[in-house]
Amino acid sequence: MAWLLLATAFFVGIHLLVAGTRLRDRLVANLGEGAYRGLFSLASILGLGAMVWSYNRAPFLPVWDLGPGARHAAALLLLLGFLLAVPGLTTRNPTAVGADNALLRPPAGIVAVTRHPFLWAVLLWAVGHLLANGDAASIAFFGGFLVLALFGPFSIDAKKARLRPDTWPAFVAATSWLPFQAIAQGRARLDWRELGWWRPTLGLLAYLAFVFYLHEALFGLRPI
């Protein structure tokens, strides 16, 4: 269990205490952008691998069991997560690494809903798994991702505000962290043609494939 806590602290820590901070700026200045990205990617892969390895070997220590209703709610949250993740990964978004050129265009598609769609997907995934898994190892593992998904957007926004002070404020003014907030306030509009029919469809198909086949094949457990 101690290894899981250390691995989780490392993975979350490098994202919240390095990736969006002035420490990252100093590292880039000393190492260069390419070297920094390479080392950070390596550290992320190692940290995530350590989390998975230690989670699979952690003892089962039950803390809560919210019953079948919570597991059904988890399935719904995961569906919403896939419907955010797939469009988020297939739409150019200035919050992504190396996509600053997207700041020159108005926010479109899922970015009009929230400028951090993938992190919202991670948040829903983490909450869903915490509802369905109340043991200590799961709380540490999925709780780490929940913390990262909650605070990661603010770290990214702070980094972009420092690096792109000329174009970032206009993008923030036209988008929101909270889904649909900018649309409700009239600062953005959702054009379903920009979202495209294939992105939600692909998200739904990925969800069905994962729930009914891939999750069991990869982790030995069928969620539904």
The residues spanned by each domain of the chain are: 1-58, 66-219
| C-alpha dihedral, 87 to 91 to 95 to 101, nearest 10° | 180
Q: How many CA atoms lie within 13 A of 33 on its CB side?
A: 3
The share of the chain scoring above pLDDT 90, in percent, equals 78
**Band of pLDDT at residue 64, cut at 50, 70 and 90:** very high
The mean predicted confidence, pLDDT, of the chain is 92
Q: Which helix (H) or strand (E) holds 199?
A: helix 198-209
Stretch among 27-31, 42-46, 216-220 having the lowest mean pLDDT: 216-220
Predicted local confidence at residue 103, as pLDDT: 76
Predicted local confidence at residue 203, as pLDDT: 95
User: Cβ neighbours of residue 78 under 8 Å, at least 6 residues apart?
Assistant: 124, 125, 128, 207, 211, 223
b/e map of 180-217 (b: 16 or more CB within 10 Å)? eebbeeeebebeeebbeeebbebbeeebeebbeeebee
Copy the structure tokens of residue 33: 């952008």
Q: What is the pTM of this model?
A: 0.93
Query: What is the rounded CA–CA span in Å between residue 95 and residue 115?
Result: 7
| C-alpha dihedral, 46 to 158 to 83 to 65, nearest 10° | 60
Looking at mean pLDDT, say which of 18-22, 25-29, 121-125 comes out highest.
121-125
Centre a 10 Å sphere on the Cβ of residue 15 and count the other Cβ atoms it contains: 21
pLDDT digits (tens, 9 = 90+) for 99-133: 767 777 888 899 999 999 999 999 999 999 999 99
**Band of pLDDT at residue 159, cut at 50, 70 and 90:** very high
Query: What is the rounded CA–CA span in Å between residue 82 and residue 73?
Result: 14
Predicted local confidence at residue 217, as pLDDT: 81
Looking at mean pLDDT, say which of 65-69, 117-121, 187-191 comes out highest.
117-121
Copy the structure tokens of residue 177: 């962290």
